[in-house]
Chains A and B, each alone.
Chain A
Amino acid sequence: MELCDLSAHELSLLLRQRRVSAVEVLESCLQRISQVDGRPGSLEPGAPQPEDAERVHAFITLTAERARAQAETVDRRLAAGEPVGLLAGIPFTVKDIFCVKGTPSTAGSRILANFVAPYTATPVARLEAAGALMLGKVNLDEFTYGSSNESSAFRPTPRNPWKLDRVPGGSSGGSTASVAAGEAPLSLGTDTAGSIRQPAAFCGVVGVKPTYGRVSRYGLIAFGSSLDCPGPIARNVVDAALMLQVIAGPDPHDSTAANLPVPDYLAALEEGVRGLRIGLSPDYFRITFPDAVRGEYDQQPIPGEIEAAVRRAADILADLGAEIVENVPMPNTRYGIPAYFVISRVEAASNLHRYDGVKYGYRTPQPVQDLHEMYRKTRNEGFGLQPKLRILMGMYVSAAQYSAQYYQRALRVRTLIRRDFEQAFDPQGKYRLHALLTPTTPTTAFPVGAVYGDSVLMQYADQLTVPANHAGIPGISIPAGLDHEGLPIGIQFLGPDFSEALLLRIARAFERATEEASWRRARPEVLQRLVA
């Protein structure tokens, strides 16, 4: 066990007791990165190299010097007995969808590869202000469009530390891979349809999608502006709570950030689940998808071992005193993906308009006759497949003659999905749930290259996570076991608006109850090799 394998709150204690220095913590992380990460993602990776398949490839940009300067400042303050922030000396990585002053902020796209941000995103600024050390920017699906990290323009793309021929999930795959591999105890991700929770489940770590507006979006390069949520990724629930404590809160730069005080997420963390009502829904034990040829919905149960993990978790919580409520209907879950297809793409197409080669980022080097040719060539060469698909669909469904049929209708569906949750959580209602317990994903991590290219199938990887984004409610994914291949299985708790403290508390109760479980002792493949 190295320093870099310790959790943020353990490191924090050692730092405050002055048993380790921030520089030592940093060096430990940097050493781990040099051991497991391999070459960073780049636009011109050249031919694949044999060791590429053996490495994690979480990083696009390593900012070791920036982190070292921050670590030295923390050590000086600690030595002088001066007060330090909540995360003083704790390294973190940042999904490269956030602008950080002076760093390339690429969104995983060729079109922003040369863009160096002149300002810092609010959540990153808050982490740094709390003394955390920014290690670097990690890879993601291009503009966050994907669930596997394979769409990034920066290659090699990240691999799953648990099994290197598997994807880490996405779009915050670089973030979850870096945390799972011990490169950093914390990472800042974003979740638009499950982009924190799905890769957290795939990589066996904790991921929190806060209530929409709980964490400022200022500096987050937008995908679906009404759905995007920055959130913490950590190796355990306490660390996730610590990180959320730092990044949450109102922001004068984001008018959609909630103007509500931030509760103390740590205060009630250990209070257990006695008396809480936790629901299970049959609509989360299957995926439902349209058959394009027949125009009808098909259903498929999720794998038995994933359902079993959820039921096992329910039993454990019941043993701890929670009341498990079965058969909570969430009938509109099946429309989550189709509605998301429409809403997110309308917003995405508009959000991508600014990448036009005029002001910053990529501009075609080819000669052009006029402005429109410059636009066309720049965007054709600068965007990868996923942004192009989203622009095409977004433009189509927001066109004046189709908008009512698609966009306006999708917005109504969104309201219905929100209503499912309101009914489940209504304190005067039939179910009176404090939280809903569901699988995070319909599968465990799939093989690299197996699903990519089939954009519809890839989307259904988000079916169990996207309803929370539609509804704006918070969700947390935590590890709950391993499948027959030894791949992590994630379970998800969903709660009403601003119930993060309660969700963290439930997750923490499960985490404590399973501390001694055998699956907790399993280590990712990449770390096992290190020991060997």
Chain B
Amino acid sequence: MTDYEAIIGLETHIQLNTQTKIFCACKADSWYDPPNTNICPVCTGLPGVLPVLNRAAVEKAALLALAMHAEINEVSYFDRKNYFYPDLPKGYQISQYDRPLASGGYMEVPMPATPERPAYVRRVNIIKLHIEEDAGKTKNVNGRRWIDFNRCGVPLVEMVTGPDLRSADEAAQYLIRLRQLLRWLGISEADMEKGHLRCDANVSIRPKGATYFNPKTEIKNVNSIENVRDAIQHEIERQIREVEAGHAIEAWTLEWDEDAGVLRKMRSKETEADYRYFKEPDLLPLRIDAAWKAAILAQRVELPLERRQRFIEAYGLPEYDAEILTGERALSDYFEQAVQAYGGDPKKVSNYLMNDILRMLNESGKSAAELRLTPAYLAEILKLADAGTINTSTAKALLQRVEESGRSPREIVEAEGLAKVSDAEAIRAVCHEVITENPNEVATYRKGKVTLIAWFVGQVMKKMRGKADPTLARQILEELLKGE
């Protein structure tokens, strides 16, 4: 049997999170707003209106281009893409065609190791990156078309990869990394369920080692990364079945039915539509001069994969920790600030983050930047524990207390007397109490069940609200239990 490889290219549409739309002053994000409430003469295509470019959209798109190692073109142009559709109010979409914002570029997608193969990196070329306006939404209800123009004019970046991905998993990883990057750069909410990130996939197969391309199919309307993976996997398997059965692959457009987990044919791809592109006469050429470019470059930040590598090298973190800590920009910033404030072993900080703080974030839905338990407070807790002022369980309890109250850890320790009690007499008195109150357990211990000592220590800690030095308590208890 022939061994096949899949050839996959992804076309993504990324909704930029600007305050206002790309060509007018209407609010861009309408997710929570009723239909046709964020509209004006410009975005509904009234006679006589003109577009005025939102510079913030250009800057956000340029940041993405830089992160893709693409070249920002000093001059680019907007073009009209002409077609009729009810939710396209001007009858053309303002897009970019042959002179787009950026050229070239690539993204490196690390593929984690699996039991079958080691980890590797897939380089994906970006063959198209341009700015355009979104269209509205059409809903068919009982044979009537309802049109919502709220989304008209929301800024989008269209980004298309080369046919460089080789499996459904690679496609999914590309989207995971892209989503991480978009959020990291703060240019898109990148939520596929809300349409901030939309993906169409072009899929074909060929015998492994071949260098030609076979006809491809296009999968549309997939609204989660999981579904992209599933849909592509199904399509690869279908194409292999077809080819094995001696059938040709036709250039269909397919739609993923999420509920049924199947692909449905939307249409056969006829000849390419002619959009009669021409330069948009209502907008000037988009010039990114040296000063503007410098201002954009100044907004550039360290990218997640770069930071991940630096965490491994500079802080000696295991790859696993570095990966998780750089999953989100706020979390990685938190980590780094805490490490600096603490000055001790970064791995210790990582442990607190990976275990306690991440749980806290998951439960509260907050981002790391929103915690009242600031990196400085976390560092203070770590220092208090290192100095022996508090024990580990107090330290862990303090995390929650600081987050709830917003007070500094030291303040809480002092105000509530949480400092570790190392006074042997005080502990001895409590140990006496515990022994007197629990004659049955004492008998069992003395019959030889010495592991019960942990239970006795626990009782002492409980009575002393966790403040006792547990090592000292154990010594005293053993002495008292043995002594009679």
Which residues of A are in contact with B by a Cβ distance under 8 Å?
Answer: 98-99, 105, 107, 112, 115, 117-119, 121, 217-222, 224-226, 252-256, 346-347, 349-350, 352-354, 356, 358-360, 371, 375, 395, 398-400, 403, 407
Apart from A219-B48, A353-B92, what are 10 other A-B pairs with CB-CB below 8 Å? Answer: A115-B47, A221-B47, A222-B48, A252-B52, A253-B50, A255-B51, A354-B47, A358-B89, A359-B44, A371-B86
Contact call B281/A226, Cβ cutoff below 8 A: yes
When distances are taken between beta carbons in the complex, the residues of chain A under 8 Å from B145 are: 371
**With A399-B276, A407-B278 as contacts: A218 and B86 at CB distance below 8 Å:** no
Contact call B46/A118, Cβ cutoff below 8 A: yes
- Indicate which residue in A105, A256, A358, A398 contacts B278 across the interface (CB closer than 8 Å): A398
CB distance from B153 to the nearest CB of A (A): 14
Which residues between 25 and 51 of chain B lie within 8 Å of chain A, taking CB atoms? 41, 44-51
CB distance from A28 to the nearest CB of B (A): 31
When distances are taken between beta carbons in the complex, the residues of chain A under 8 Å from B284 are: 255-256
Query: A105 vs B283: C-alpha distance in the bound complex, in angstroms?
Result: 24
Contact call B44/A99, Cβ cutoff below 8 A: no
Contact call A347/B91, Cβ cutoff below 8 A: no
When distances are taken between beta carbons in the complex, the residues of chain A under 8 Å from B49 are: 218-219
Q: Is B82 an interface residue (CB 8 A)?
A: yes
8 A-B pairs with least C-beta separation:
A353-B91, A226-B281, A225-B281, A398-B276, A221-B47, A219-B48, A99-B48, A221-B48
Query: A164 vs B283: C-alpha distance in the bound complex, in angstroms?
Result: 42
Measured CB to CB, the nearest residue on chain B to A379 is B84
Query: A254 vs B281: C-alpha distance in the bound complex, in angstroms?
Result: 11
CB-defined A-B contacts under 8 Å, sample of 5: A107-B47, A117-B47, A254-B50, A353-B92, A398-B276
- Indicate which residue in A119, A255, A347, A359 contacts B283 across the interface (CB closer than 8 Å): A255
CB distance from B399 to the nearest CB of A (A): 52
Q: Is B425 an interface residue (CB 8 A)?
A: no
When distances are taken between beta carbons in the complex, the residues of chain A under 8 Å from B48 are: 98-99, 105, 117, 121, 217-222
Q: Is B270 an interface residue (CB 8 A)?
A: no
Q: Is B80 an interface residue (CB 8 A)?
A: yes
Which residues between 48 and 99 of chain B lie within 8 Å of chain A, taking CB atoms? 48-53, 80, 82, 84, 86, 89-92
When distances are taken between beta carbons in the complex, the residues of chain A under 8 Å from B50 are: 217-218, 253-256
When distances are taken between beta carbons in the complex, the residues of chain B under 8 Å from A399 are: 274, 276
Contact call B47/A255, Cβ cutoff below 8 A: no
**With A218-B50, A255-B52 as contacts: A350 and B278 at CB distance below 8 Å:** yes
Query: A399 vs B89: C-alpha distance in the bound complex, in angstroms?
Result: 21
Contact call A256/B91, Cβ cutoff below 8 A: no
Total count of chain B residues near the partner, CB < 8 A = 28
Contact call A256/B282, Cβ cutoff below 8 A: yes
When distances are taken between beta carbons in the complex, the residues of chain A under 8 Å from B384 are: none
Measured CB to CB, the nearest residue on chain B to A360 is B46
CB distance from A25 to the nearest CB of B (A): 29
When distances are taken between beta carbons in the complex, the residues of chain A under 8 Å from B89 are: 354, 358-359
Q: Is B461 an interface residue (CB 8 A)?
A: no
- Indicate which residue in B47, B80, B147, B276 contacts A358 across the interface (CB closer than 8 Å): B147
**With A98-B48, A99-B46 as contacts: A255 and B147 at CB distance below 8 Å:** no
When distances are taken between beta carbons in the complex, the residues of chain B under 8 Å from A352 are: 91
- Indicate which residue in A118, A395, A398, A400 contacts B41 across the interface (CB closer than 8 Å): A118
When distances are taken between beta carbons in the complex, the residues of chain B under 8 Å from A121 are: 48
Contact call B90/A354, Cβ cutoff below 8 A: yes
Measured CB to CB, the nearest residue on chain A to B44 is A359
Query: A121 vs B145: C-alpha distance in the bound complex, in angstroms?
Result: 32
Contact call A253/B52, Cβ cutoff below 8 A: yes
When distances are taken between beta carbons in the complex, the residues of chain B under 8 Å from A217 are: 48, 50
When distances are taken between beta carbons in the complex, the residues of chain A under 8 Å from B278 are: 346-347, 350, 398, 403, 407
CB distance from A332 to the nearest CB of B (A): 21
- Indicate which residue in B80, B92, B282 contacts A255 across the interface (CB closer than 8 Å): B282
CB distance from B249 to the nearest CB of A (A): 26
Contact call A119/B282, Cβ cutoff below 8 A: no
- Indicate which residue in B44, B47, B283 contacts A112 across the interface (CB closer than 8 Å): B47
When distances are taken between beta carbons in the complex, the residues of chain A under 8 Å from B274 are: 399-400
When distances are taken between beta carbons in the complex, the residues of chain A under 8 Å from B84 are: 353, 356, 375
Query: A359 vs B52: C-alpha distance in the bound complex, in angstroms?
Result: 22
Query: A219 vs B50: C-alpha distance in the bound complex, in angstroms?
Result: 8
Measured CB to CB, the nearest residue on chain A to B283 is A255
Measured CB to CB, the nearest residue on chain B to A228 is B281
CB distance from A252 to the nearest CB of B (A): 7
Could you say which of A99, A221, A346, A353 has the most chain B C-beta atoms within 10 Å of its C-beta? A353
Query: A352 vs B89: C-alpha distance in the bound complex, in angstroms?
Result: 11
When distances are taken between beta carbons in the complex, the residues of chain B under 8 Å from A222 are: 47-48, 282
CB distance from B357 to the nearest CB of A (A): 47
When distances are taken between beta carbons in the complex, the residues of chain A under 8 Å from B46 are: 99, 117-119, 360
**With A118-B46, A359-B44, A400-B276 as contacts: A225 and B282 at CB distance below 8 Å:** yes
CB distance from B460 to the nearest CB of A (A): 75
Measured CB to CB, the nearest residue on chain B to A399 is B274
CB distance from A105 to the nearest CB of B (A): 7
CB distance from A346 to the nearest CB of B (A): 6
CB distance from B82 to the nearest CB of A (A): 5
When distances are taken between beta carbons in the complex, the residues of chain A under 8 Å from B281 are: 224-226, 256, 347
- Indicate which residue in A112, A218, A360, A395 contacts B276 across the interface (CB closer than 8 Å): A395
When distances are taken between beta carbons in the complex, the residues of chain B under 8 Å from A224 are: 281
Query: A91 vs B147: C-alpha distance in the bound complex, in angstroms?
Result: 42
Query: A119 vs B47: C-alpha distance in the bound complex, in angstroms?
Result: 10
Query: A185 vs B46: C-alpha distance in the bound complex, in angstroms?
Result: 30
Measured CB to CB, the nearest residue on chain B to A143 is B47
When distances are taken between beta carbons in the complex, the residues of chain A under 8 Å from B82 are: 349-350, 353, 398
Query: A217 vs B44: C-alpha distance in the bound complex, in angstroms?
Result: 18
Measured CB to CB, the nearest residue on chain A to B145 is A371
Query: A118 vs B40: C-alpha distance in the bound complex, in angstroms?
Result: 10
Could you say which of B48, B274, B276 has the most chain A C-beta atoms within 10 Å of its C-beta? B48
CB distance from A158 to the nearest CB of B (A): 22
When distances are taken between beta carbons in the complex, the residues of chain A under 8 Å from B90 are: 353-354
When distances are taken between beta carbons in the complex, the residues of chain B under 8 Å from A117 are: 46-48
When distances are taken between beta carbons in the complex, the residues of chain B under 8 Å from A115 are: 47
Query: A225 vs B278: C-alpha distance in the bound complex, in angstroms?
Result: 12
When distances are taken between beta carbons in the complex, the residues of chain A under 8 Å from B86 are: 356, 358, 371
Which residues between 245 and 304 of chain B lie within 8 Å of chain A, taking CB atoms? 274, 276, 278, 281-284
Query: A400 vs B283: C-alpha distance in the bound complex, in angstroms?
Result: 22
Contact string against A for B residues 114-154, beta-carbon threshold 8 Å, 1 for contact and 0 otherwise: 00000000000000000000000000000001010000000
Contact string against A for B residues 365-381, beta-carbon threshold 8 Å, 1 for contact and 0 otherwise: 00000000000000000
Query: A254 vs B44: C-alpha distance in the bound complex, in angstroms?
Result: 17
Query: A37 vs B221: C-alpha distance in the bound complex, in angstroms?
Result: 59
CB distance from B145 to the nearest CB of A (A): 8
- Indicate which residue in B47, B91, B276, B283 contacts A356 across the interface (CB closer than 8 Å): B91
Contact call B41/A119, Cβ cutoff below 8 A: yes
Measured CB to CB, the nearest residue on chain B to A115 is B47
Query: A347 vs B90: C-alpha distance in the bound complex, in angstroms?
Result: 13
CB distance from A179 to the nearest CB of B (A): 23
Measured CB to CB, the nearest residue on chain B to A408 is B278
CB distance from B274 to the nearest CB of A (A): 5
When distances are taken between beta carbons in the complex, the residues of chain B under 8 Å from A347 are: 278, 281
When distances are taken between beta carbons in the complex, the residues of chain B under 8 Å from A98 are: 48
Contact call A354/B283, Cβ cutoff below 8 A: no
When distances are taken between beta carbons in the complex, the residues of chain B under 8 Å from A107 are: 47
CB distance from A532 to the nearest CB of B (A): 42
Measured CB to CB, the nearest residue on chain A to B51 is A255
CB distance from A148 to the nearest CB of B (A): 23
Query: A12 vs B128: C-alpha distance in the bound complex, in angstroms?
Result: 59
When distances are taken between beta carbons in the complex, the residues of chain B under 8 Å from A252 are: 52
When distances are taken between beta carbons in the complex, the residues of chain B under 8 Å from A105 are: 47-48
Query: A222 vs B41: C-alpha distance in the bound complex, in angstroms?
Result: 14
Measured CB to CB, the nearest residue on chain A to B42 is A253
Query: A400 vs B82: C-alpha distance in the bound complex, in angstroms?
Result: 12
Query: A221 vs B91: C-alpha distance in the bound complex, in angstroms?
Result: 15
When distances are taken between beta carbons in the complex, the residues of chain A under 8 Å from B283 are: 255-256
Measured CB to CB, the nearest residue on chain B to A400 is B274
